[in-house]
Structure 1
Amino acid sequence: MEPGNETQPSEFLLLGFSEDPALQPLICGLFLSMYLVTVAGNLLIVLAILSDTHLHTPMYFFLSNLSLVDVCFTSTTIPKMLVNIQMQSKAISYTGCITQMYFLLLFGGLDDLLLTVMAYDRFVAICHPLLYMVIMSPQLCVQLVLLSWVISALNSFLQSLMVLRLSFCAHLEIPHFFCELDQVVHTACSDTFLNDILIYFASVLLGAGPLAGILYSYSKIISSIRAISSAQGKYKAFSTCVSHLTVVSLFYGTVLGVYLSSAVTQNTHSTATASLMYTVVTPMMNPFIYSLRNKDIKRALKRFFRRKSGDVSVNPSL
């Protein structure tokens, strides 16, 4: 077939991880299990926070938002991949690909920005404890979350709009398990200079910017903790940051690992496998990190399950 320009192709082909038919059931079972664990774990965190008035604080308000975003983030990729495996198909429609890319950018950016907001929350709690409830008012918390939504939505809208202007050739294979922005852009046969500039600008703004904010917050936090005289006080202050710091390290470590490795090697299947870390594994691990290291979450989950088991014993028909 002669490659020809096509403003709106009918579909793209997602090559995924392996073309071996024998591995498809294993891949399907593995990803289905990971998806169910991710959804269940994050929704349990949200339910525990909503059901316990002791957790109606800024820190847990941001955590509940992060958990909901993680559920949405994973839901943009895994269900489609599972459907394709079951139908023995690699196709995703042009509209479906652009839509998936939009929501991936939206929820990925939200993950990034919410982690930055949570770092600011920990900075205020440790560096300005007496003013914490004044500074982190309910109005400011809602405004910070809304601002994160607006910034991420604008970026995903602009990136998707710029992709819509591209013309695509006949070769529409994407060596990934989802419509990753850079991969989609570079399947185009028209000039992608403006797209590349926008991707680079967004990477600096939504990648390096929030990371710099997180590092600055933790530099101030470490300075404040070092100034605490008692060892018990230092431990108590630092323990409130451990879960967040672990999630930040996991998220940024995997994202940087993916994009640094893709810059060094042209092995697209390796890049797809590495992308699995921040799109699936990190959202799955977040509930475990926060619940295993957080006594308040543990107590809230115990009360939640105790309440539910009590309801069932009183109403056995439920």
Structure 2
Amino acid sequence: MKAWTWDRYGPPDVLTLKDVDEPGIARDEVLVRVRAASVNPYDWRLTGADPKLARLEVGLRRPKPGLVCGADLAGVVERVGDEVTGLRPGDEVFGEVRLGSFAEAVAVPQDRLAVKPVRLTFEQAASVSMAAHTALQGLRDTGRIAAGQRVLVNGASGGIGTFAVQLAKAFDTEVTGVCSTRNADLVRSLGADDVVDYTREDFTQREGRYDLLIDIVGDRSLAKLRRPLTRRGTLVIVGGISARGGLLGPAAQVLRGTLAAPFVSQRIATVSWKPNSADLRFLAELMEKQQVTPVIDRTYPFTEIPEALHYLKRGHAQGKVAITMRP
């Protein structure tokens, strides 16, 4: 089968489309014939070892041999392991792997998959898992979101942000989205009650307005991010898509938040996504009810994944960038 691999660190061009063996499956895994995928900052951070901390996951000096890039996917179940329940060959599914979705087929643990919502295309479904898991778990689990709260999403027009705005509305809160001028209409269309155009207004000057702030961008100091929160408000740090290079990259903001948390009146908490089938099913229900819809900026063919990563890395995508296996 065809798959995108890399044997050295660098820009997305280090990825090479190669013929590799089709993966076997463990007893609790499912072989999925990939119909669509999507790209995430996670992908170009791993291929480029940006930050250097990423080398701990895929190889200190160079990537481990045989690694296939990609996390998000949607496709059709081709084979199931002996311990798999609830899924069978022919099922249309979506979900996530640690590595391997930029391929014609991938082995996926059953607890990282769910049945694809009927109303979604494969490209839409493949754009859900990593971004929506991060938004959901950041708001609900880390942020302890509650109906009636005032919520601010910094980075409202990106992959995670477009899900965060819609999910915050689904939890019956008053939502403010921070984005650029060109993305303001998009964020309003997702249900935001208020939009802050960061080219015209600094949202950190809005003192004491919000109960919950989820920061996806990572371009403000902790002191500034705390200012628009109420005295007992909660700051949720996703990491920071703007952080590039260095040893820690976006993890530096996470570390600063962890160290500061015991010394301030507001809650400062950090989030990283934890893919699981229960949350995928919850998201699928919201998508079937049309309370949440994936936003796709553009779609690239499977043969142009490096170009898709370059586009995403420039930082101006509205929502997600999808990959299709269709010609």
TM over 0.5: no
Give the structure with the larger helix fraction: 1
Using the size of structure 1 for normalisation, the TM-score is 0.27
Q: TM-score, normalised by structure 2?
A: 0.27
Looking at both structures, which has the greater relative contact order when contacts are Cα pairs under 8 Å and sequence separation is at least 6?
1
Bigger radius of gyration, 1 or 2?
1
